[in-house]
Every structure is written in C-alpha cells, then in structure tokens.
Amino acid sequence: MSGFVDKPVPVEVPGLTHLHTGKVRDLYATGSGDLVMVASDRVSAFDWVLPTEIPDKGRLLTQLSLWWFEQLSDLVDNHVISDVPPKGAPTDWAGRTLVCRRLDMVPVECVARGYLTGSGLSEYSATGSVCGVPLPGGLVDGSRLDRAIFTPAIKAEVGEHDENVSFDTVARLHGSALATRLRELTLGLYTRGRAIAEERGILLADTKFEFGRDTDGSLVLADEVFTPDSSRFWPREEWRPGRPQPSFDKQIIRDWLSSPASGWDRASETPPPSLPDEVVEHTRARYVEVFVRLTGRTPDFVGD
C-alpha cells in the first residue's frame, strides 16, 4: 500500500475543471481547452506523498522549469502558454502556475543517465547493463559514463513504481520512429542541460522528461524540466565515485525516513510519519541553493 497519506481536496476555481491530483501538481482545464498546472509544496518519497510540505517548493520547481525552458527553446518546443494564474485563482497560485497547451501525452518516462547511481547502479550490478544498454565493467556508484544513455520507463499510477524498460520495448509499444525520436530528444536535452549545469559547478547525474504530441503531430516538451524533483544534481566539488554522492534533491528526506529516528518501517503498510522541522528546513535550503547556483538569482519569494 502506498500513495497519499492525506489526499488533498482540490481547490475550486470558477471557470476551471479539476482533472487530476498528482504527487506534486494539480491539473485543471480551462473553458477553452487549455490546461492549468499548479505545483504544490507536496513532496513524495518511497512512493508515498508525505503529510508534510516543503515551503515554496512548488514555486521553486515552476520558476526553475521556466528558466530551463528558455535555455532549451532552440532544441524543442514546450507546452507553456503563460505563467499568469487564471482569473479568480487563489493568490497562492502566483509563481507556481503554468497555463499550457493540451497535448496527447506519450506514456513513456524518458530518462537520460550520464552517471551511474540509483536503480541504474542496482541493475548494472546484477546484469552489467541498464535497460538493455551494456556498460563497461568496473563501474561504481557515481561513475561518469563515457556517453549518456537513454533508459526509459513506463509511467505508473500514484503509489506505484515506474517500470524501467528497454528501447526495444518502447519501439514495440509505440513504433520505432517515435522511440528513436524520443531517444534523440532526451539525449540532446540532457547533453545541453549537463553542460549548462557543469558551468555552474553542478553535475547533472540523470534526469527524466515527458513529451506530448501537438495537434500537428510534433513532439513537445511538457511537465517540468531539470528540477530537483525530476533530476539528480550533485555539487561538482564533492563528487567522489565509489560512494553515494551529496545531492540537491530530496535525499535528505529519504535518509531520515530510512533512519531509526523516523521510527518508520518502509516494508510495512503504515504511512510514513510527518517530517521534523530540521529536515523540512534543510530540504528547502537545498532546493533554494540549486535554484540560485543554476540561475544566478535569488528567488524573490524567499523569506515570504
């Protein structure tokens, strides 16, 4: 059992129809058919959406995605129409809302890995490959790969694990032409993002993208891009292969939940507990730090 500890009640806004409540984002439709994505301050770990929020997280994710969409605009179109909340929306939606084109979403999580860690490391240790891509021997946790690899996954419902699959599986399910284009876009975007991040002292270990088809059939980048929720960022100055790397993502939360201090048994069906203040503050500080290091600016809502 997993999912929401406390599933939120959707906010009602005149003229909008609530469509979906995700781990972090709430999705609405406008009367004209556009979509409105609102990034909450919710945080998930171990397939649970936790009962404790991280203040300003939704704004940080949204503003960082907007910055990245600009950096990538010459490589692929994105779904953003506006970042102005619809008329009648709560004041809290400011800074965390994107009005987007409605797309026919491709049900594949497009993952790029430039370093070996996480589930990729586990698979490599067992098979010598990741998602059907063979890798050289002798790699360790944090090893940089000679060439980034495309390791897709099939998206799961909230509370379920995404399933890592091979390129051939994507080709069988969706056709070789689409699979090839997804791989090209994923690796191209990752290469651009990794170069930009490295210039700012950050290693982009891996990331995931979502794409949808526009009305003309072209692929469009959707959802979020290169955020601490969708990517694994490491401080370059602390990178040491052969051990788990310090991270700018929610690893702080995972570590606490896995520790005796939390009193939580991950293998049980008991929901995880609330996070202590120091874990919340530390996590928020890491999200702010990666935002500042990447964009070169302090978010104007910090300290609100």
Percent of the chain exceeding pLDDT 90 equals 90
Contact 74, 192 (CB under 8 A): no
- Both 74 and 152 in one domain: the answer is no
Residue 253: inside a domain, yes or no? no
Per-residue pLDDT, 184: 98
- Both 1 and 98 in one domain: the answer is yes
- Both 12 and 90 in one domain: the answer is yes
Does residue 228 register a pLDDT over 70?
yes
Section 104-111 average pLDDT = 97
Residue 69: inside a domain, yes or no? yes
Per-residue pLDDT, 304: 46
Per-residue pLDDT, 161: 59
Angstrom distance (rounded) from CA 89 to CA 276:
31
The amino acid present at 112, given as its one-letter code, is A
What is the pLDDT of the chain when averaged over all its residues?
94
Angstrom distance (rounded) from CA 304 to CA 301:
5
Residue at a domain's end among 205, 235, 265: 235
Section 156-171 average pLDDT = 79
Residue 292: inside a domain, yes or no? no
Residue 267: inside a domain, yes or no? no
> What's the burial of 14, exposed, middle or buried (CB within 10 Å: 0-12/13-18/19+)?
exposed
Per-residue pLDDT, 2: 63
Residue 94: inside a domain, yes or no? yes
Section 224-249 average pLDDT = 95
Residue 274: inside a domain, yes or no? no
Does residue 257 register a pLDDT over 90?
yes
Residue 245: inside a domain, yes or no? no
Does residue 84 register a pLDDT over 80?
yes
Residue 246: inside a domain, yes or no? no
Structure confidence at residue 159 as a pLDDT band (50, 70, 90): very low
Section 234-256 average pLDDT = 94
- Both 144 and 83 in one domain: the answer is no
Contact 296, 71 (CB under 8 A): no
- Both 123 and 85 in one domain: the answer is no
- Both 111 and 223 in one domain: the answer is yes
Q: Which residue range is the domain that position 68 belongs to?
A: 1-102
- Both 126 and 220 in one domain: the answer is yes
Residue at a domain's end among 235, 250, 279: 235
- What are the angstrom distances between the C-alpha of 233 and each of 25, 58, 130? 21, 18, 20
- Both 23 and 112 in one domain: the answer is no
* Degrees to nearest 5, angle at CA 69 with 286 and 14: 90
- Both 59 and 148 in one domain: the answer is no
Comparing CA positions, the residue from 3, 21, 4 lying closest to residue 12 is 21
Angstrom distance (rounded) from CA 80 to CA 293:
24
The CATH number assigned to the domain holding 119 equals 3.30.470.20
Does residue 127 register a pLDDT over 70?
yes
Total domains in the fold of the chain: 2
Per-residue pLDDT, 22: 93
Section 186-208 average pLDDT = 98
Does residue 157 register a pLDDT over 80?
no
- Both 2 and 29 in one domain: the answer is yes
- Both 88 and 4 in one domain: the answer is yes
Residues with Cβ within 8 Å of 127's Cβ and at least 6 positions away in sequence, in order, are: none
Per-residue pLDDT, 269: 84
- Both 162 and 69 in one domain: the answer is no
Angstrom distance (rounded) from CA 152 to CA 157:
16
- What are the angstrom distances between the C-alpha of 154 and each of 128, 216, 247, 269? 21, 24, 25, 24
How far is residue 109 CA from its own chain's centroid? 10
Residue at a domain's end among 102, 126, 145: 102
Contact 60, 287 (CB under 8 A): yes
The CATH number assigned to the domain holding 46 equals 3.30.200.20
